[in-house]
Amino acid sequence: MRVPALRWALCWLGVCGAILSSLVLTRGPTDTAPAQPVAVGRSVPAAAPTTTAPQEAASDVSVPASFVPAPLGCRLVTYTPPAATAPQQGQLCEPGNPTGVAMILIHGGGGTGGTRTDTDLWAVEYRRRGITTFAIDYRLVDPAVDDGVWPVPEQHVKAAAQFLRTQADELGLTSIQLHGFSAGARLAAVALTTPDDPAFAGPDRWDDISDAVDGAVLFYGYYNDFVYEPDAYWGDTPVPVEAQPELMAAGANAPALLVHGDVDFLVPAAESIGLAAALRVASHDQTLWIVGGQPDHGFDGYGTGVLSEAGAELVEPILDWVRGIAG
């Protein structure tokens, strides 16, 4: 199994603390998270939630308990090209007070699970502040049958950015950004560091439309050659360099905000530290926030019914960052 074992082991041995104390990895004056709330318990559910994003569901008719109505101002769209190997959908939501910024939300789940609804809580926070949201599903890996899905999941994230670009005039968009969580953060980082790279050409990506984005918020991701089902993901192909954001950092064309819990039990903070360092060495705009006292992966309340205390305290600083790079 292709695992960055040394990096992860060192983090658990406490070396991450030393690394943090010696690095200055900021876009501005802030080098730590704006808040360090106490951890509130495990926040990664065993299954995807089935509830609607709070305060935005609207239905006055009797429906089955499993039915989840779309929030007001939202519609389900197919964003992949007609020739795609399998059509992928996303929930596109327009806020009542649009600012011209769009955020593509990319769920986690280890590349084998998860759904766009896992990002509902953040989608609500963005829309409350005038940001259009596009929560996408993408090709997941089935280790029982797959033998090399690369680069289809990455193409899907790029196709989502291309789709929004084709809708920019209609939606009044001036900035297209990414917010990825865990496995979704890896996909977002690949997109950030490989804008318009011909290595990703194929039927699951649109032709002759730029897939470059204007920024990426990356929550507790992994950014080297690690994936949870390497044989199913890569097949017999050596891990391509284009799949490793830390190695491709020089290609980044937009700012990145990396956020990680300090003692993440699943993906060590060393992953975000490493990518932030690589971006800085390449003279690219990056900001790293390590949130203290957070042993949980998904410490912000990702995939649950409510943001954790730590997640809630990050909302405004993240929105400030998003608005700042949008101009």
**What are the pLDDT digits (tens) for 82-123?**
999 999 999 999 999 999 999 999 999 999 999 999 999 999
Q: Which of 39, 42, 48 is nearest to 66 (CA)?
A: 48
Least confident of 27-31, 196-200, 233-237: 27-31
The whole-angstrom separation of Cα 193 and Cα 52 is 33
User: The tokens of 71 are what?
Assistant: 């929030």
pLDDT at 219 over 90: yes
**DSSP type of residue 208:** S
Sole residue written with tokens 């502040």: 129
What region does 287 belong to: left with phi over 0, alpha with psi -120 to 50, or beta?
beta
Mean pLDDT of 257-269: 97
Tell me the average pLDDT of the chain: 84
Q: What is the pTM of this model?
A: 0.82
Higher pLDDT, 44 or 265: 265
Q: Which of 257, 155, 146, 137 is nearest to 206 (CA)?
A: 155
Least confident of 9-23, 73-87, 181-195, 269-283: 9-23
Q: Where are the beta strands (DSSP E) in the chain?
A: 74-78, 89-93, 101-106, 132-136, 175-181, 216-219, 256-261, 286-291
Q: Give 121-157 as a DSSP string.
A: HHHHHHHHTT-EEEEE--PPP-TTT-S--TTHHHHHH
pLDDT at 80 over 60: yes
Q: Within 10 Å of residue 180's Cβ, how many Cβ atoms?
A: 27
Summarize pLDDT for 28-45 with one digit per residue, the tens.
Answer: 333 444 433 322 222 222
Q: Which of 292, 276, 261 is nearest to 23 (CA)?
A: 276
Angle at which helix 270-281 crosses helix 15-22, to 10 degrees, equals 30
The whole-angstrom separation of Cα 181 and Cα 120 is 12
Quote the pLDDT of residue 73.
Answer: 87
Domains, the chain, ranges and CATH?
5-34+71-326 (3.40.50.1820)
What region does 303 belong to: left with phi over 0, alpha with psi -120 to 50, or beta?
left
CA 231 from centroid of its chain's CA atoms: 23
